[in-house]
Each structure stands twice: as C-alpha cells, then as structure tokens.
Amino acid sequence: MPQEILLLEDDDSLNHAVSLKLKKEGYTVYSAFTVKEALSLYQDKNLSLIICDISLPDGSGLEFCSRVRQESDVLFLFLTALDREEDIAAGYRQGADDYITKPFSMTALTAKVGALLKRFPADAHKIIVSGDITLYPEDKRAMKGNQNLSLTAKEYSLLTFFMENPMRILSRNQLLEAIWDIEGNFVDENTLFVNIRRLREKIEDNPSAPVMLKNVRGLGYIWERKCEKR
C-alpha cells in the first residue's frame, strides 16, 4: 500500500506542483488548502506524513501541528516561507520532525520526505492482530480477546518478534540475538524455552497443544497464524 501524505498548502499552484511530484514518487497525496480541510482529512485518513505551511487563511500551521501532536505521532514537516531562526525553533517546539523553507527544490523536498519515511516506517506503531491476540506497539501492551495480558519485558519482546514475523520459522539463535542481543551460544539453552513456555501459558487456550506459537523440531519456533497490521 502506498504511504499516505497530507499536504496543507493554500497556494493553489504550489499545492498542485508538490502533490503531482509526490504522486509520481509513488505516494498517495491528499491536498488541503485550509486548516479545516486538513483536520477533516487527518481524522479520516491513515496518514504517514503531514506537510504543512504555517501561514494559512483560517489559522496557523503551528496550532494545527500542536493539535496533531496531542493525538498522534504521525510525521510532520513544515514547508514555509518563514525562515527566521525563531520561526524554525517554534516549528520544532510544536512537534515538527523537520522544517523546509521556501523557496525550495522539488528534488530536495522528495529526498527529505523519503528520508523521513525511511527512518520512521509508516507501520512502526500500527496495531497487529492475529486471531484473538492484539498487539499495541505504541503502548507496549497486548490483549487476548478483551483481557490485557500481563507480560514481562522479555515475553512482550518475544511476542512482538513473532507477530512481526508470522509464518516464518525462527531459529533459537535468531530469537536469542533479537531479544537478548547476544550470541545464543553464550546463553543458558533453557532461557528461551522457559520464556516461550511462560508466553504460551498466557496466550494459548491449551498451552500443551499450542495452535499459534509452535515448536518446529530441530529448527526453532513459528507463529503459525497470519498477522494483520491496522
């Protein structure tokens, strides 16, 4: 799915030019010319990035950024003619991730957008759902049905790693290096087994006959259910 960008720019020709360029780069772009329009799109779309002017006909881009930041960690890039140091500082104080001043080149803008979206992937904080297990990465919590799961830090990290890599056999060394960040040979071979067992007791209906987190004899473990990011 193409990443979705909201462009809030009241200059019609500039809005059109930037929108066209970003669409050619493969992004889905929603254009807004007022804060009111931008708020409606922000609330309705699954945005990865907001590009925003500061001086707008019905309000301030700074205020719009502040409001967005109270509700979301969507990437925010100011694109404005206000180029004084105090203007730039104000933009970052409101929560902007980056700031570009006009005039600018389209090449520089698309490079900046690409770098931002690469550093902060769009799905980094998306909810992951697999059967009756739901993972909330932004809050670092998980649920089974309507019940919160009481997980240790290692159990949560294991669950996250499995749900981010479903239907793949993960070796013991892969798991140990990902969760404990050291070579598996230097870890008690029982460490992973104990954490897997405890995790199963919390997520499986029948831990002795798991249907989600399965052992693959001689190879490792697999999360044998599809996962959906929302």
- How high is the pLDDT of residue 182? 47
The larger pLDDT score, comparing residue 174 to residue 58, is at: 58
Cβ pair 223, 212 in contact under 8 A: yes
- How high is the pLDDT of residue 124? 55
Query: Which residues have C-beta within 8 Å of that of residue 59, sequence separation ≥ 6?
Result: 34, 35
Query: Which residues have C-beta within 8 Å of that of residue 94, sequence separation ≥ 6?
Result: 62, 65, 66, 69
Cβ pair 92, 110 in contact under 8 A: no
Matching CATH number, 4-119, of 3.40.50.2300, 2.40.37.10, 3.90.230.10, 2.30.29.30:
3.40.50.2300
Please report, for the chain, the start and end positions of each structural domain, with discontinuous segments joined by +.
Answer: 4-119, 128-229
Per-residue pLDDT at 106 exceeds 90: yes
- How high is the pLDDT of residue 126? 73
Q: Does domain 128-229 have CATH number 1.10.10.10?
A: yes
Cβ pair 127, 136 in contact under 8 A: yes
In the chain, % of residues over pLDDT 90? 64
Rounded mean pLDDT of the chain?
A: 89
